[in-house]
Amino acid sequence: MPNIVHVPQHRNTTKQEAAELLGIQVYDTALPQPWLNEVAGNLSSLDVDASGKLYDILLTSLVWCYDQAKIFGAPYPLTLKAWAYLKALDMKTGTHYVDETHSLLNVLDIG
């Protein structure tokens, strides 16, 4: 489970503000399009409300972080929901985006 950073309720937070609140040093708010398409496809079965919002959730609640993976970068979840989707991706595909044995991520408690 990640460290959860609480923010004031009803606060509209941009991806940039969220990344700064979490202490992320080097990041890009844009995600690699092929990676995003692949992840959304892999996790489409988890889109429980069936309204196609999974893609939007991933797009709005992840940044591409270079703090640890300096050359190629890696996705960094800004919210608990995004962390859960990356954890599900790890379990489904064997990736290690939220590998809790090597690092503990901070995420915001916003949806």
Measured CA to CA, the distance from residue 67 to residue 30 in angstroms comes to 16
pLDDT at 111 over 60: no
Q: What is the pTM of this model?
A: 0.84
* Phi and psi at residue 72, to the nearest 5°: -100, -20
- Averaged pLDDT for residues 4-28: 81
In DSSP terms, which residues pair with 27 in a beta bridge?
A: 65
At 59-84, the pLDDT tens digits run 999 999 998 766 889 999 998 889 99
